[in-house]
Structure 1
């Protein structure tokens, strides 16, 4: 039986590669992004996999947008076996002494509040035993930060890690596994061309980790190789 997945922030980078690999292995995918009309690569994939990929609009930080997705989803998908909360934002150029409250709040809304509230809203359509994968970052680790850099992103992803732990407790009675996943330093628009691994390598590892995880792993922070990350 085909599995059903939903991937946020699916128009580029890790999200787009997730969609590619899920489709290639036979899954049905709902891919979301803020502007589907501009998501050229996604729309091309939809043509290559007719009936197996649906592209829907979603801004994870906006309550109205999340509610609209929840209303539309039953029309294209009866249940979800996998939710990949990948959508995120990194505002460049943050400098101490010149921080913007608006940008810091936006980072928290997109990187932490959005995944938490979207997962809560989609809980009724998550199958018992489903997986929720929250794409975190090595930059969220309090224990390993050694410089002042990108505080909005770091704080947002650290808060997302706590959301992962909270969701793990909330969804454990239904055997739903919730993971905080570090994809590594990936060659994407965000990671840059000098990053250590390709999106293909990262997502291959992430999907292996997601597939192998059991309920005892729910709430853990692990990287794309399955190794524990420091909180």
Structure 2
């Protein structure tokens, strides 16, 4: 369903790339945004936006891989958002470790990828569930690299495994939150020109973010628990 004005939004990994672009576009729409990242003091672009949007943007610390950080964020949110209500949660924070080779996959890297890309967003959503507005939306930033059906080569195993796990987390969260009318979906944003995607990626962050927000504008229960591209078309699990 279309979003109302003065929506309350939370964006993780908001200091750069798609997270920063989501923050910019949500503010341009007139929404109130909490932009979360690991080191707010170093998030210069975010802090500049705070000055440009007084009272509508708050930057808070969050390490998505640390459950203690989730609890601290949950305590802070009611202080910066009226009642702490979250209408849109964008689980954008993620990590990709490149250069992995079969036989040399580092257990610590695989574990870190799972914590940041899969268990982190799942546990964060669980921790923030009391603050999610009935009828609200949770969007998880996934990837086609997490598609089991689409796997045709051995590459980025830690990232691929963690995104496949995140897709399952999306499906489970959709079931858990269905009785409150909360839509939960997983996005493949495309190959986006960010620090993670690299300079050869064909899609600009502004285009990817705009397409995903347009999809969220029309999202309803029929998309909940689904894995879709940025325009809402189904992706293979």
> Is the TM-score greater than 0.5?
yes
**Are 1:197 and 2:196 an aligned pair?**
no
How big is each residue's C-alpha offset from its partner over 1:138-192, in whole Å with a ceiling of 9 and x where there is no partner? 1111111111111000010110000000000000000000000111000000001
Write the distance in 2 (CA, Å) between the matches of 1:220 and 1:96.
Answer: 30
Q: Tell me what 2:70 maps to.
A: 66
Q: Report 1:1-231 matches (<5 A).
A: 1-77=5-81, 78=83, 79-231=85-237
- Give the alignment's TM-score, normalised by structure 2: 0.96
* 1:10 to partner: Cα distance: 0.3
3-state DSSP of counterpart to 2:58: strand
3-state DSSP of counterpart to 1:123: helix
Write the distance in 2 (CA, Å) between the matches of 1:199 and 1:71.
Answer: 31
Q: Number of paired residues?
A: 231
**Structure 2 portions without partners, runs of 5+:** none
Write the distance in 1 (CA, Å) between the matches of 2:196 and 2:212.
Answer: 18
Write the distance in 2 (CA, Å) between the matches of 1:175 and 1:225.
Answer: 22
How big is each residue's C-alpha offset from its partner over 1:59-105, in whole Å with a ceiling of 9 and x where there is no partner? 01001111111111110112010000000000121111111101100
**Structure 1 portions without partners, runs of 5+:** none
Backbone CA RMSD of aligned residues: 0.7
* 1:6 to partner: Cα distance: 0.1
How big is each residue's C-alpha offset from its partner over 1:186-224, in whole Å with a ceiling of 9 and x where there is no partner? 000000111121000000000011111111210000111
3-state DSSP of counterpart to 1:95: coil
* 1:127 to partner: Cα distance: 0.5
Write the distance in 1 (CA, Å) between the matches of 2:89 and 2:99.
Answer: 31
| Runs of 4+ in structure 1 over 3 Å off | none
How big is each residue's C-alpha offset from its partner over 1:10-54, in whole Å with a ceiling of 9 and x where there is no partner? 000000000000000000000000000000100011110010000
Write the distance in 2 (CA, Å) between the matches of 1:125 and 1:226.
Answer: 26
